[in-house]
Structure 1
Amino acid sequence: MGEVPLNSSNSRSDKLLQDPFDADGDIDPTTEKGQEVLSQPAATKWELYSYYNYYNGNNGYNIYSFLPTLLQYMAQKGGFDPTDPTHPPCSDQLSNDSPCNVPWPSSPNGVPVISMIMYVTAISFGIQFLLFTTFGSMADYERWNRYILMFSTVVSCAAQILPVIFISNPSQWQGTMALTIITNISYGASLVFYAAAFPTLSDNLPLVRKIRADPNAASEESKVVVEKWRNHVSAISTTFSNIGFLILSAIFSGISFIPWKQGPFLNAEQTFGNTPLFYFIGTAACGAYWLINAVPYFVFQPSGRRGPPLPEGEHYITIGWKSIIAALKEAKKFRYLFMYIISYFMFIDGVNSISTMQTYVQNQITSFSATQTVVMGLITAITSILGCLFFLFLAKRFNVSTKTNLMIIVVTTGIVPIWGCFGIGLDNFGLKTSWELWVLSVWSGFFTGPIWAWQQTMLAELVPRGKENMFFGLFGVANKASSWIGATIIGAVIQSTSNPYFGWPVIAGMFVIASVLLWFVDVDAAKAELIHDNIQQELDQSKAKDMDFDEPTKTTDDA
């Protein structure tokens, strides 16, 4: 490995800073380490950068901006004033003081628009929960990860483009609601299976493969390099996602200011960004952008990047449930991993709820003004990139641990719902004014944007090797279950109070619980548990081999 000893600090620094494709020498196929590494093809630059570029397209801009805004706008057009027994149409003056309900099953007086949006979120995540528990573990076998990711990508892109069919009748919010549910389900699937692919990709960078296969490499040194390159791939892919968010924000910001004469307009500003047409075109453009950026990854992913065949006697329909039960049993063996699952359950639900609440409040305060909201999105995109690079800098330059970075991110993100709680009793503070929205754009971008990279890196550190898809699938299920439950509770609270700001205390409680649990996760002890489990598995396998070897000998002697 060179003149510098592998376990020296200089060697560690070199391995973390050099080109991951600069690795001389062949891997010895006769060693156990070498055989394990060679079971997967080496990652290429084309595969790595097309993986990054996929996330550039799948940046969530439409999911968290245009599509929910379009649904909210159409619901306002098709809703009614619940305070008047005759149920007249909702006021065109969209504000927090203008109640607006939409028809809803088993609710004679309908539900507030924000409750409907929360229930749509709950339905989306509830269906994802059922799908992931049934089919999620299929990604562990053959090339199902690729196929599921490809299918979910195509479906989500199509569902984002289709709302344009309602452009001549914007009051038909039910159709857009159905497409939103389909988009959310397929988008959620794409995130889970995209994330599940990154540990295998990172571990097969030529430099990492060389260190993993080196029989003389110190175990601790090898783990540090693997962990840091996983951090690198995860953080850079998230940065690419934020770059895609930035590109779309910049394009749509410029377009929104184009002078426009033909209405209808959402407010007094006669610009293209203040017309419903802008949002219809925006959703379609975002879907097309994702599809274009996704294609290269499926082209350049090596054909050998696959899992083992489906075990004999198993079925694709039932193996998912068995896998989830097995993952839960495995997680219980690792107390810190199980603790992190619960923490993740809470803070990811909080993040998703913040996004929904922020979009709704933002639209109400600005009266759907794209000239304001799109620029806020642009600021969020820029600060998200800065945030990802900042926390990556902390990790590489000052060796700040994954847990410490994630702890900072979760706590600072949790300040947002506490901030929103002030809006329950105040009119000029608590996410109720335009200046607060600008501050929130910066804050949420810098501190919340990196959460997607660091939560999955934390998971990668705690998951037993060889079971990445199983546990990423379990976390995907935890994400969907938590978001389904949380969104339902928040929607019901808002429905009973008729005040959207009562949703913030619920979200704040999620972050308090998540932060406390995350604080008590001992990563070093968790890794020790993994090592102990690996040793125990090796002993069990060795005993099983000895029994298989002794059995025929015993039979021969008896004969």
Structure 2
Amino acid sequence: MTADTTDPEGRTADPAERRREQRGWYFYDFACSVYSTSVLTVFLGPYLTSVAKAAADADGFVHPLGIPVRAGSLFAYSVSASLVVAVLAMPLAGAAADRTGRKKPLLAVAAYLGAAATTGMFFLEGQRYLLGAFLLIVANASFAVAMALYNAYLPQIAEPDERDAVSSRGWAFGYTSGALVLVLNLVLYSGHESFGLTEGTAVRICLASAGLWWGVFALVPLRRLRDRPAAPAEAAGGEGAVGGWRQLVATLKDMRRHPLTLSFLLAYLVYNDGVQTVISQASIYGSEELGLDQTTLITAVLLVQVLAVVGALGMGRMARSYGAKRTILGSLAVWTAILAAGYFLPSGAPVFFYCLAAAIGLVLGGSQALSRSLFSHLVPRGKEAEYFSAYEMSDRGLSWLGPLVFGLAYQLTGSYRDAIISLVIFFAAGFVLLARVPVRRAVAAAGNPVPDRI
């Protein structure tokens, strides 16, 4: 059994052991980011839409559970539904993790359930749009639960002054793997005929390979990360699911004692809803509204991945000089300009789409990494998994509103341009809400040391 080397705050005290855990922690981003990139951002949206259109009636509607849904809205609605499922699962998982001190087994269950559902997308063909929607809901909800547990390790494996850098490196690892696998996907997809494959089969292989990649590389963090003993107040909770729900209620009451932390979560919920919707709907917008082919979309997302590594590390450095809050606010202003430019993009013009992708890449990784590290300072000791479940609810679990608005806008207008411009409100409102959060007071109110620059 590994000796307990944690300090009174639950962090790993030995520097060498802390670095070892950090390196293992980076590899979960390396494992799961391929799902975000290859599945959610590039392939599944256009492919599931084509499967739904093949099953649609003469008016372009499919009828899951007897409900008329425009085929072009199915993917957005499925993403939204998956995040509602995640809302129900994440707080329970977080409460159980903090109550028992055993985050790692729960992380393993969520990761491998998501990886299995993603691998099962190989069987999505013909008119099986219901199978595709089901697998998307399972995979995306599992992804959100696993990320909540994974993020909860950050305050335990990094000192306060390390967290911006550690969080940024994790995102950089993720975008590196996303870029690497996208290169392989591009080779397979663009050369599918030379491999003796149909276009649909090549897409299904790309989808399934993301699940296999996720499962294989998840072994690294599961070997290197270790569980900490639960804080006494957390260990006193009940057993099983009932105890988990009781702890969840206690967590919600506890969060009312930290209104500044809740203020940050509200701001993050709003602006990140816009970020997640752009990520998940970008390929639909490019293929259906701009008339771009799949190869163009893959190379554009590959550009995003490469520049996101640069952006995550660069914005991490900017945070050292200007603080995480100011750097995030700057990124939100850029996001707003990106959406405005996207509304006016001409159809069939890949060069302009690449320019937009480059701008997205430069702000995407940094805004996500710094939001995660900033929140880690606002979490009370012993509440890491529960509070990061709430954070992940903001990150993915409550980001159902953006896809829902996007899908409704298309369903009502038939225009993806109207859908994309509606997302500006998320970034503008998020900017205003975040600007009003006194982050130094929020860190002190959570009982944590205040870094020199935040």
- Is the counterpart of residue 413 in structure 1 residue 321 in structure 2? no
Structure 2 equivalent of residue 119 of structure 1: 77
Cα 1:134–1:509 change in 2 (3 A) is same
C-alpha distance in structure 1 between counterparts of 2:449 and 2:322, whole Å: 27
3-state SS of 1:333 partner? coil
**1:307 to 2:230 alignment:** yes
Contact 2:182 2:302 in 1 (8 A): yes
C-alpha separation in 2, matches of 1:530 and 1:187: 28
How much does 1:477 deviate? Answer: 2.9
Tell me how far 1:171 sits from its aligned partner. Answer: 2.1
Match of 1:198 in 2: 154
Contact 1:234 1:453 survives alignment (8 Å): yes
User: TM-score of the superposition, structure 2-length normalised?
Assistant: 0.88
How much has 1:507 moved relative to structure 2? 1.4
Return the offset for 1:312: 3.8
1:377-405 residue CA offsets vs partner (Å, 9 max, x unmatched): 21111110110111122234xx2211112
- 2:305 corresponds to which residue? 381
Amino acid of the structure 2 residue aligned with 1:233: V
Report the CA distance between 1:155 and its aligned residue.
1.0
Would the alpha carbon gap of residues 430 and 152 (structure 1) be closer, same or farther in structure 2, given more than 3 Å must change? farther
Residue 524, structure 1, aligned to residue 440, structure 2: yes
8 Å CA contact retained: 2:289, 2:417: no
Q: 1:37 to 1:288 in 2, by over 3 A?
A: closer
Larger Rg: 1
Asked if the contact 1:246–1:381 (Cα under 8 Å) also holds between the matched residues in 2, the reply is yes
The answer to whether 1:393 aligns with 2:349 is: no
User: For the residues of structure 2 that align with 1:38 and 1:440, how far apart are their CA atoms?
Assistant: 40
Q: Deviations over 1:340-364 (max 9, x none)?
A: 1111111121111112321211222
Residues 157, 313 of structure 1: alpha-carbon distance in 2 compared, 3 angstrom cutoff:
closer
**Alignment-mate amino acid for residue 258 of structure 2:** F
Pair 1:253 & 2:211 matched? no
C-alpha distance in structure 1 between counterparts of 2:262 and 2:151, whole Å: 19
User: Match of 2:326?
Assistant: 404
Q: Equivalents in 2 of 1:307, 1:201: separation in Å?
A: 15
In structure 2, the gaps of 5 or more residues are none
| Residue type of the alignment partner of 2:300 | M
Looking at structure 2, the residues matched to 320 and 81 of structure 1 have their Cα atoms a distance apart, in angstroms, of: 48
Identify the residue that residue 484 of structure 1 maps to in structure 2. Answer: 400
State how far apart, in whole Å, the 2-side matches of 1:332 and 1:35 are. 25
Offset of residue 444 of structure 1? 1.2
Residue in 2 aligned with 1:538?
A: none
Query: How far did residue 324 of structure 1 move?
Result: 4.2
**Alignment RMSD:** 3.0
Name the counterpart of 2:99.
141
- How many residue pairs are counted as aligned between the two chains? 442
1:527 offset after TM fit, Å?
2.9
What is the aligned partner in structure 2 of residue 189 from structure 1?
145
Identity percentage over the alignment?
19
1:114 Cα deviation after fit: 3.2
> Do residues 451 (structure 1) and 367 (structure 2) align?
yes
Residues 442 and 46 (structure 1), Cα distance of their counterparts in 2 relative to 1, 3 Å cut: same
> Is 2:134 the partner of 1:178?
yes
- Distance of aligned partners of 1:305 and 1:343 in 2 relative to their CA distance in 1, 3 Å threshold: same
* C-alpha spacing 1:316/1:477, structure 2 compared with 1 (3 Å): farther
SS at match of 1:395: helix
Which protein is richer in helix relative to its size?
A: 2
Q: 1:504 to 1:282 in 2, by over 3 A?
A: same
Q: Name which of structure 1's ranges 46-55 and 118-127 shifts more when overlaid on structure 2.
A: 46-55
Larger relative contact order (CA 8 Å, sep ≥ 6): 2
Residue 287 (structure 1) shift: 1.1
Q: CA deviation at 1:328?
A: 3.9
The one-letter code of the counterpart of 1:392 is G
- The verdict on how the C-alpha distance between 1:313 and 1:328 changes in structure 2, with shifts beyond 3 A counting, is closer
Gap runs ≥5 in structure 1: 1-26, 83-99, 203-225, 264-271, 423-428, 535-559
Query: Relative to structure 1, is the Cα distance of residues 434 and 532 closer, same or farther in structure 2, using a 3 angstrom cutoff?
Result: closer
Q: Distance in 2 between matches of 1:366 and 1:258?
A: 23
1:338 aligns with 2:262: yes
Q: Residue 280 and residue 532 in structure 1: after superposition, are their counterparts in 2 closer, same or farther (change >3 A)?
A: closer
For 1:323 and 1:414, the matched residues in 2 are separated by 39
Superposed displacement of residue 459, structure 1:
0.6
Relative to structure 1, the CA distance from residue 321 to residue 501 in structure 2 (aligned partners, 3 Å threshold; closer, same or farther) is farther
1:66 aligned residue (29, 40, 43): 43
Corresponding residue for residue 465 of structure 1: 381
Amino acid at match of 1:133: P
User: How far does residue 190 in structure 1 lie from its aligned partner after superposition?
Assistant: 1.5
Matched position secondary structure for 1:153? helix
Shift of 1:511: 1.3
> Shift in Å at residue 522 of structure 1?
1.3
Change (3 A) 1:335 1:496: same
Residue equivalent to 1:101: 61
Residues 1:70 and 1:406: Cα distance change in structure 2 (over 3 Å): same
Superposed CA deviations along residues 422-473 of structure 1, whole A, max 9, x for unmatched, are 4xxxxxx367743332122111111122222111111112222332222112
* Alpha-carbon separation, structure 2, partners of 1:334 and 1:259: 54
| Alpha-carbon shift at residue 81 of structure 1 (Å) | 4.0
**CA gap 1:432/1:125 in 2 versus in 1, 3 angstroms:** farther
